[in-house]
């Protein structure tokens, strides 16, 4: 009998340990604790070029993450990229003339959206669109422009 | 002159036949899964034999793998000034690949070989025939609880492996190499996705659990009932399980993280 | 008769010792053919086993005696022929029916085939717990009675690894009779036994058969021991029955083959030498082997 109890005890410990490990991975290692994904409100923005912006990329304001990119799709009427992002519900006072830029973290890093607050008294609400946008800087274009300008100066 | 061709043909036919027997056995096991609900005590015993007894080797391996990953990763990442990403690198490698795969290999060596030897010996000593003669189906009574035990143990062991590995990486990276503690965890949390990485890792290890236990049980059940046959089956169980796990890992990775 | 066989699932079935309406033959084998790969094991084998007797099947090693037991119990399927056990054709039964039939058969394996992770008591209790809903105290009483019958009541707490070969076989015998079967099959019960446990087993087989109206089938190549307890003997060789009769009849049989087997002569129809070219020629040949 004692042996059977020991088996049950160790098996119970083992299963509990495994579940704790899974929980640890979920909460401490993965983004589950960050992504309360259905909360917050949706805001859209149109860009001429989003570069390599990915779904789930961070949306930041003053360098602090306040939301995530929910989807990136192509508008075939205007030939623009439409990015919808979910902003944390707590951040509910973003002026509606805010600027949306696509930045790159470091030279080779991931791209993210940076918001720069405007001065309007009206705040963005669910479903609103940010009008002022600036596209991603595409490295090849920049180099091309740079070379063109240099050539112009010297020529 | 045709001898090599004949031998090749015979080899292929034998292999196909064995494959067929293996699948029939899997089918019989799946049909008998209800047995576990009727006699849960049999399952506890197998969770002990497969899960608990593999715990030590899996935990220790996870710790060392995590520590080595941190050492090596730090060396490479610091050359690009990206040592803050150490946490991501360690966690991603563990959760996506090393956790499920290395755990499956360890379990195949530790528990899979033991299963094959146990079943093979039961066959060699006529215990399986004895059960049949007592009108007890050995597939349901002997194989099904071991199968379920193996399949359930695998993701738990893999999770323990990954968790211990992440902590090992933390000790080395943050403790020894001086990576910023906040960066270690926050970068990890920002980049490791719950559905994409963690859930897929668990699915992988469930699949490996099925494959490893199935191969071990089949090799034991299909063994030539002599001591030589049992030892050969045990070796074959480990080798086959390792190869199939690695091959399957490639396929699953391509399917899950392909795009 | 078949009806009675199908309905009696329980252990506590009333055995009718008088054997009134039931045919005398319990196992009837007709035209049995069995091959393993290219090798022919049985070819057109006919064999009858009468109710209530100890029938022995003898033959040199490798003649498929164990295979015969596996065919009777439905663990193997013949290539042709019928095997009727208590009126049911074993070759036609599906696995549920086969399992039902097997509850009424006990088999003693060469190695005993005890479950190594269960104690002696639990091994004997296994079929009772498996197939009946008896209370724990009832199971205990039955197990102790069966163990008493084989003289090992005192060994109930030992594990199979602690038993000698003879004791393991006796425990296995207790397990085989736990469900009060209609017949028991013995696979080489005397192989590798010392004279004392051999004597015990012989006495047990005979006693069990007579005391509880069992039918016993015994497969062996130990001629003297077998002949001394069997009611009827079959001698098979190369897939056929070459001789049959009571032990006395076989002892009186003058055929060369029966004499060689029964008396254990080194040479006769079965040659001492494996077929080979002439020795002198072989020695003169050049070659590596």
Global pTM value: 0.77
pLDDT in tens, B218-233: 999 999 988 899 999 9
Instruction: State the residue for tokens 């080797």.
Output: B57
Taken as a whole, chain B contains a residue count of 259
Q: Do chains B and C touch (3 or more CB pairs under 8 A)?
A: yes
Cβ partners under 8 Å of residue B126, min gap 6: C109, C110, C111, C113
- CATH number of the structural domain spanning residue C62: 3.40.50.300
Query: Do C100 and C213 fall within a single domain?
Result: yes
Q: Give the number of beta-carbon pairs within 8 Å between B and C.
A: 51
Phi/psi at C86 (5° precision): 50, 40
Nearest to C115 among B127, B133, B135 (CB): B127
Query: Do C156 and C79 fall within a single domain?
Result: no
pLDDT at residue C59 tops 50: yes
Q: How far apart are the first and last CA of chain C?
A: 63
C103 contacts B130? CB cut-off 8 A: no
More confidently predicted of B154 and A127 = B154
pLDDT at residue B258 tops 90: no
More confidently predicted of C98 and B1 = C98
Q: Closest-CA residue in chain C for B128?
A: C113
Query: Do C190 and C154 fall within a single domain?
Result: no
How much is the pLDDT for C5?
40
Domain limits, chain B: 62-257
Test the B interface: residue of A6, A18, A24, A57 with most B CBs within 10 Å: A18
Element holding A84 (H helix, E strand): strand A80-87
pLDDT at residue B75 tops 70: yes
pLDDT in tens, C100-115: 888 888 888 887 788 8
Mean pLDDT for all residues in chain A = 82
B132 contacts C102? CB cut-off 8 A: yes
Q: How confident is the model at residue B243 (pLDDT cuts 50, 70, 90)?
A: very high
Q: How confident is the model at residue B194 (pLDDT cuts 50, 70, 90)?
A: confident
Query: Do C228 and C170 fall within a single domain?
Result: no
- Chain B: closest CA distance from residue A16 (Å): 9
Q: Give the domain range for residue C230.
A: 25-104+182-198+205-289
Test the B interface: residue of A5, A10, A11, A106 with most B CBs within 10 Å: A11
ipTM above 0.95, yes or no: no
A8 contacts B45? CB cut-off 8 A: no
How much is the pLDDT for B50?
92
- Dist CA C128 CA A28 (whole Å): 52
- Residue pair B140/B218 in contact (Cβ under 8 Å)? The answer is no
- Provide the 10 A C-beta neighbour count for residue A4: 11
Nearest to B163 among A21, A34, A58 (CB): A21
Domain limits, chain A: 2-32, 39-144
How much is the pLDDT for C87?
83
- 3-state class (DSSP) for residue C258: helix
Order of strands across the sheet that contains A64-75: A129-130, A41-47, A80-87, A64-75, A58-61, A111-116, A99-104, A132-134
pLDDT in tens, C148-190: 888 888 888 889 888 888 888 889 888 988 888 888 998 888 8
Total domains, chain C = 2
**Ranges A74-78, B108-112, B165-169, B234-238: which has the least confidence:** A74-78
DSSP string spanning chain B?
A: --HHHHHHHHHHHHHHHHHHHHHHHHHHHHHTTHHHHH-HHHHHHHIIIIIIHHHHHHHHHHHHHHHHHHHHHHHHHHHTT-GGGHHHHHHHIIIIIIHHHHHHHHHIIIIIHHHHHHHHHHHHTTHHHHHHHTT--HIIIIIHHHHHHHHHHHHHHHHHHHHHHHHHHHIIIIIIS---HHHHHHHHHHH--IIIIIIHHHHHHHHHHHHHHHHHHHHHHTS-SSHHHHHHHHHHHHHHHHHHHHHHHHHHHHHHH--
Q: Hey, what are C115's tokens?
A: 């479950």
**Ranges A78-82, B67-71, B210-214: which has the least confidence:** A78-82
- Dist CA B82 CA B73 (whole Å): 10
pLDDT in tens, B12-43: 998 899 999 999 999 999 998 888 888 888 88
Q: For residue C40, is it within any domain?
A: yes
Q: How far apart are the first and last CA of chain A?
A: 96
C130 contacts B133? CB cut-off 8 A: no
More confidently predicted of C33 and B61 = B61
Query: Rounded mean pLDDT of A8-18?
Result: 88
Q: For residue C3, is it within any domain?
A: no
- Residue pair A59/A66 in contact (Cβ under 8 Å)? The answer is yes
Query: Rounded mean pLDDT of C205-234?
Result: 86
| Contacting partners of chain C (3+ CB pairs under 8 A) | B
- 3-state class (DSSP) for residue C243: strand
How much is the pLDDT for C21?
47
B132 contacts C113? CB cut-off 8 A: no
Query: Do C35 and C99 fall within a single domain?
Result: yes
Q: For residue C52, is it within any domain?
A: yes
How far are the Cα atoms of A88, A89, A90, A128 from residue A95, in angstroms, in the given order? 15, 15, 14, 11
- Residue pair C192/C165 in contact (Cβ under 8 Å)? The answer is yes
How much is the pLDDT for C58?
86
pLDDT above 90: percentage of residues in chain B: 60
Q: How confident is the model at residue B204 (pLDDT cuts 50, 70, 90)?
A: very high
- 3-state class (DSSP) for residue C145: helix
Q: For residue C20, is it within any domain?
A: no
Nearest to A28 among B185, B191, B202 (CB): B185
């Amino acid at each position: 009998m004692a042996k059977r109890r020991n088996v049950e005890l160790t098996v119970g410990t083992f299963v509990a340990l495994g579940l704790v490990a899974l929980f640890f991975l979920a909460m401490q290692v993965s983004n589950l604790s960050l992504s309360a994904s259905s909360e917050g409100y949706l805001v859209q923005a149109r860009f001429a070029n989003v570069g390599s912006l990915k779904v789930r990329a961070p949306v930041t304001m003053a360098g602090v993450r306040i939301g995530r990119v929910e989807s990136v799709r192509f508008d075939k009427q205007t030939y623009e990229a439409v990015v919808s992002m979910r902003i944390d519900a707590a951040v509910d006072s973003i002026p509606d003339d805010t600027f949306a830029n696509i930045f790159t973290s470091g030279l080779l890093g991931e791209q993210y959206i940076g918001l720069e607050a405007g001065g309007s008294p009206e705040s963005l609400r669910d479903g609103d669109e940010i009008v002022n946008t600036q596209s991603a800087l595409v490295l090849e274009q920049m180099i091309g422009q740079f070379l063109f300008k240099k050539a112009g100066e010297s020529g | 002159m045709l001898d090599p061709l004949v031998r090749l043909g015979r080899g292929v036919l034998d292999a196909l036949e064995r494959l067929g027997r293996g699948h029939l056995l899997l089918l019989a096991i799946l049909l008998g899964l209800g047995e576990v609900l009727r006699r849960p005590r049999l399952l506890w015993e197998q969770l002990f034999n497969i899960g608990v007894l593999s715990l030590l080797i899996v935990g220790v391996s996870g710790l060392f793998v995590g520590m080595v990953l941190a050492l090596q990763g730090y060396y490479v990442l610091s050359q690009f000034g990206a040592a803050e990403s150490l946490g991501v690198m360690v966690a991603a490698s563990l959760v996506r690949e090393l956790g499920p795969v290395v755990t499956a290999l360890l379990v195949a060596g530790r528990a899979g070989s033991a299963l094959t030897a146990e079943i093979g010996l039961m066959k060699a000593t006529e215990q399986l025939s004895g059960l049949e003669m007592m009108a007890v189906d050995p597939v349901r009574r002997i194989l099904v609880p071991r199968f379920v035990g193996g399949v359930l143990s695998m993701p738990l062991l893999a999770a323990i492996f990954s968790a211990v590995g992440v902590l090992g990486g933390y000790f080395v990276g943050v403790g020894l190499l001086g990576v910023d503690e906040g960066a270690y965890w926050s970068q990890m949390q920002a980049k490791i996705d719950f559905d994409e990485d963690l859930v897929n890792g668990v699915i992988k290890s469930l699949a490996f659990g099925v494959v490893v236990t199935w191969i071990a049980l089949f090799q034991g059940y299909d063994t030539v009932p002599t001591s030589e046959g049992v030892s050969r089956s045990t070796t074959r169980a480990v080798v086959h399980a390792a190869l199939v796990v690695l091959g399957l890992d490639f396929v699953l990775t391509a399917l899950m993280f392909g795009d | 008769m078949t009806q009675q066989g199908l309905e009696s699932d329980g252990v506590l079935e009333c055995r009718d010792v008088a054997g009134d309406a039931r045919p005398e033959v319990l196992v009837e084998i007709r035209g049995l053919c069995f091959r393993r790969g290219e090798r022919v094991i049985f070819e057109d084998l006919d064999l009858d086993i009468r109710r209530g007797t100890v029938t022995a099947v003898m033959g040199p090693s490798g003649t498929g005696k164990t295979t015969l037991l596996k065919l009777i119990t439905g663990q193997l399927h013949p290539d042709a022929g019928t095997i009727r056990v208590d009126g049911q054709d074993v070759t036609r039964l599906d696995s549920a029916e086969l399992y039902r039939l097997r509850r009424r058969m006990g088999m003693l394996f060469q190695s005993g085939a005890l479950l190594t992770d269960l104690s002696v008591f639990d091994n004997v209790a296994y079929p009772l717990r498996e197939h009946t809903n008896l209370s724990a105290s009832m199971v205990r009483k039955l197990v102790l009675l069966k163990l008493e019958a084989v003289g090992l009541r005192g060994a109930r707490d030992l594990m199979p690894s602690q038993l000698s070969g003879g004791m393991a076989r006796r425990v296995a015998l207790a397990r085989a009779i736990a469900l009060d079967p209609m017949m028991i099959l013995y696979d080489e019960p005397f192989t590798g036994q010392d004279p004392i446990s051999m004597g015990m087993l012989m006495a047990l087989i005979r006693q069990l058969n007579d005391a509880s109206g069992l039918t016993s089938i015994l497969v062996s190549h130990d001629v003297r021991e077998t002949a001394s307890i069997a009611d009827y003997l079959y001698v098979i060789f190369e897939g056929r029955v070459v001789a049959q009769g009571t032990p006395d009849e076989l002892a009186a049989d003058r055929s060369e083959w029966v004499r060689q087997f029964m008396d254990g002569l080194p040479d006769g129809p079965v040659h001492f030498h494996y077929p080979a070219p002439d020795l002198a020629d072989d020695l003169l040949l050049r070659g590596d082997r």
